[in-house]
Amino acid sequence: MQTNLITLSPVQNRMRTSIIDGCIETLQQGQQFLSSISNKEYQLAAPPYVTSSIGKHFRHLLDLFYAIYSKKDVIDYNLRRRDSVVETSRIVALEEIEALIAWLDNLDEHQLGRKVLVSTEVCLNSTQVCVVSSTFERELSFVALHATHHYAMANVIVRSLKINIRANDTFGCAPTTISYLRGQ
């Protein structure tokens, strides 16, 4: 199977790890996608398949990155910016992605191995928040992979609405899927 694999320009850094590279590549995929749609398209959903707009999906994935970025004592994934301007402005989303890439590019490997606490809700029927231990790099890995899921949802929206995008045909595919396709 022939596929177009994404080729993104690397960001320069004094010393980067694969976790940081993966996060930056993920955010760059989002930049590429957002650069190929209009602000009006950014605000679209595709009911009944997807009821949240592309902007809401991007706001959510950016919220998770910002939970790590703004970490105090605990990474709190419950903090969300619902109904914020990032849900309706593609330009604001692009600016936030650029800021996150700059932040990631300045992390060093010593920061990545730090132990952290993570707060997240775990139940649907009642509010139950759990605090668990993790590492900074594990949480970065999680949010990058979770972003891929939201990219896939954005991809469903544009395909359902027959919007032509300049993003690669692997947009929204997991790294393991891309590795599998490379091996074919």
pTM: 0.86
Domain that holds residue 104: 18-182
Residue 6 lies in a domain: no
Residue-wise pLDDT for 87-109, tens only, equals: 999 999 999 999 999 999 998 77
Residue 2 lies in a domain: no
Between CA 160 and CA 167, with CA 162 as vertex, the angle to 5 degrees is: 95
CATH code at position 125: 1.20.120.450
Q: How many domains does the chain contain in total?
A: 1
Residue-wise pLDDT for 44-74, tens only, equals: 999 998 999 999 999 999 999 999 998 777 9
Give the orientation angle of helix 54-69 with respect to helix 90-105, to 10 degrees: 30
**What helix, strand, coil percent values describe the chain, rounded to 5?**
50, 10, 40
Six-digit token pair at 137? 């790099």
Residue-wise pLDDT for 114-160, tens only, equals: 899 999 988 889 888 899 999 999 999 999 999 999 999 999 999 99
Rounded Cα–Cα distance for residues 94 and 91 (Å): 5
Are 94 and 36 within 8 A, CB to CB? no
